[in-house]
Amino acid sequence: MSKIKQIKIILYKLKEIIGLFLKKIFSKKDKEYTSFVLTETLASYLYPKYRFSEFGRIWFEDKEFFRYYEKYDKNNYHSADRKFFLKSLLSLIQNLPGDTVECGVYLGASSELICEAIKNLAKKHHVFDSFEGLSNPLAEDGGYWHKGNLKAELESVKKI
């Protein structure tokens, strides 16, 4: 088991213990804010580069959006902010001329949002992809991604 996985398991256990402790001493509303402050403080030590946004973001409560998001990924929310921003922008396209297009479609999550937004409009949605995943990263792309990552099957995108 990788070290990061082991640390995640320990943190998960700790989360349960801290959650029970906070539940005992705070009301539900105060507990949520306290959890936020504790998490922000801890993150500022562990990963100072990450900037926390403010407490009480309403879109975190958007159950319909997260149902959609979790169809594609239940393991992380790394692109949830971008997807929500895209969904919000799409509410403005009614009077814009032209069709829509996504270049680099992966599993089709963003295209699903686009198709939903144009379903009653006289527009067509076009998608382009090699369906071979990422190409060989260059030095400036960093070391996180590798050739072939984010490869999706054309057939699964067609189903959307």
Q: Which residues bind ligand SAM (CB under 6 A)?
A: 102, 104-106, 109-110, 129-135, 150-152
Rounded to whole angstroms, what are the CA distances from 121 to 83, 105, 110, 158? 21, 21, 18, 20
Give the nearest distance from C-beta 99 to ligand SAM in angstroms: 17
Q: Which is nearer to ligand SAM, 19 or 104 (CB)?
A: 104
Give φ, ψ of 12 to 5 degrees.
Answer: -60, -45
Give the nearest distance from C-beta 137 to ligand SAM in angstroms: 10
Q: Which is nearer to ligand SAM, 109 or 117 (CB)?
A: 109
Q: Which is nearer to ligand SAM, 26 or 133 (CB)?
A: 133
The answer to whether 126 and 99 are in contact (CB under 8 A) is yes
Give the nearest distance from C-beta 56 to ligand SAM in angstroms: 27
13 exposed, middle or buried (CB, 10 Å; 0-12, 13-18, 19+)? exposed
